[in-house]
A and B are shown apart, each in its own frame.
Chain A
Amino acid sequence: ETGVTQSPTHLIKTRGQQVTLRCSSQSGHNTVSWYQQALGQGPQFIFQYYREEENGRGNFPPRFSGLQFPNYSSELNVNALELDDSALYLCASSSFSGGAYNEQFFGPGTRLTVL
């Protein structure tokens, strides 16, 4: 296990509703990234948080937003849910201390179904 936890594990919502997904980073990690994985596809980058600020975003509309807290945990919020938002949402944490790549460790994901 990586030490990255996510809640809830499963969620069912209806179109138009709002949802908040939560992620606790691995101990010692200060960066959190969120990914969306649709069935049969690879994960797609939503955004990354570092020092409580969004420091990079993928091709997702503004109704996808996030937060990072002082303890480095994070939330992903999705407003006005659409059927296509049904997917596995993965959180990944890493530590940045200068230099190049620091491995991202993924949580088990939250499976969201929008009806």
Chain B
Amino acid sequence: RKEVEQDPGPFNVPEGATVAFNCTYSNSASQSFFWYRQDCRKEPKLLMSVYSSGNEDGRFTAQLNRASQYISLLIRDSKLSDSATYLCVVNKGRVNTGFQKLVFGTGTRLLVSP
């Protein structure tokens, strides 16, 4: 079983739609959680961190459920520019040591059409 599992998609949605991505992780000792965005043939870029209390950044909302080991990302009012691959990421590093090991899911591809 992969440490971080995501539906690879693609998710094809029209502009303005709301779309939700989910991911599960297997290691309950994981320290921190993120969503990264990766455009075609580009490097991953941090979209947002994910907290148990939930956090929102404009049209993007992320949520962590530690009990279920489940992470979600909700995108409202999709834009054409949201088309990308969204990577669910878990940090298995050691706190206060500087060691960080980011474990990535395979990514979920989103295609937003006019």
Contacts and interface: CB of A to CB of B under 8 A. Distances in A.
A42 B32 contact: no
A60 interface: no
A72 interface: no
Contacts of B107: 41-42
For the residues of B in contact with A, the DSSP-based class is loop
B46 A55 contact: no
A55 B71 CA distance: 28
Contacts of A43: 44, 87, 102, 104
B61 interface: no
A109 B102 contact: no
Which bracket fits the contact residues of A?
A: 20 to 34
Interface in B5-61: 8, 31-32, 42-46
Which bracket fits the contact residues of B?
A: 20 to 34
Nearest to B101: A45
B67 interface: no
B101 A101 contact: no
Interface stretch (A14-22, A63-71, A79-87, A91-99): A91-99
A45 B102 contact: yes
Contacts of B103: 45
B72 interface: no
Contact of A101 (B4, B31, B43, B44): B31
Interface string A30-59: 010101000011111100101000011010
Interface in B59-114: 87, 89, 91, 93, 95-107
26 contacts: A31-B98, A31-B100, A33-B101, A40-B106, A41-B107, A42-B4, A43-B102, A45-B101, A48-B100, A50-B98, A50-B99, A55-B98, A55-B99, A56-B93, A94-B100, A100-B95, A100-B96, A101-B32, A101-B91, A101-B93, A104-B100, A104-B102, A106-B43, A107-B43, A108-B42, A108-B43
Interface of A: 2, 31, 33, 35, 40-45, 48, 50, 55-56, 58, 90, 92, 94, 96, 98-104, 106-109
